[in-house]
Amino acid sequence: MSAFDPSEMPARRNKALITGASRGIGRAIAERFAAAGYDLILTCLNNEKTLQQLCASLADRHGILAQPFCGDLGEYETVQRLFAPIKSLDVLVNNAGISHIGLLSDMTPKQWRRLMATNLDACFYTCKLAVPLMVQRRSGRIINISSVWGSAGASMEAAYSASKGALNSLTRALAKELAPSGVPVNAIACGVIDTDMNRCFSEEEIQALIQEIPADRLGRPDEVGELALSLANSPTYLTGQIITLDGGFL
């Protein structure tokens, strides 16, 4: 597991922690925040080399500090190690997530537990440790990356839908807890975004999905990154919202 020293990060720049940042939506969010001048702490589960290369590239191109951390955030002890050296944090983006496609009756308890640990438990752990850092300064933003399936539900993705529905509820409830402290909590409910997570679908299935999307295309990861950065800069009165980014799908 990679370690980092946040003391190297200049106090004058904002700091963002982005989970699941080695590819897809998380990588696009990291790109947008780096371009905006944020120092970054980026995490992934297994793609340590890819994450290290991304950090080096972002630091070189944008003149910021980007630190990698590789580990399973579905385990509280790992998240404790991640946060141990962090003294301040301006933005937490909970993006790490996995999917499972198949009948619920065929899903094993181990598969269910793995999905919930990644998609929901990890968000609880990071919020638990980030909140005191933000509340003591009465400043900060929490942005959770959710899905339209958390609201509508998806056949063959019952567990994934359940995890995102719970994430939406957590977002709304935590927003009410933290509003008096001036710390907004919002979520982005993504539609079908063109990422590796959707490579499991055939071209025919993708085209069928596109036909159901009024925008007539898949979403792009950079569009999620742009919206996440907008939420990081939004008024603190905007909180507890599940903002849907789906091309008009729902």
Instruction: Please give the structure tokens belonging to residue 37.
Output: 């001048």
Q: Is 160 a catalytic residue?
A: yes
Instruction: Please give the structure tokens belonging to residue 103.
Output: 């009948």
Do 38 and 115 form a contact (C-beta atoms < 8 A)?
Answer: no
Which residues lie across from 40 on neighbouring strands? 16, 66
CA-wise closest residue to 19 among 96, 83, 80: 96
Residues 6+ apart with CB under 8 A from 215: 247, 248
Q: Phi first, then psi: what are they for 166, rounded to 5°? A: -65, -40
> 160 vs 103, 124, 148, CA distance in Å?
12, 16, 11
Do 102 and 81 form a contact (C-beta atoms < 8 A)?
Answer: no
Which member of 38, 76, 125, 160 is catalytic? 160
The CA-based angle 22-137-95, given to 5 degrees, is: 20
Could you list the active site residues?
160
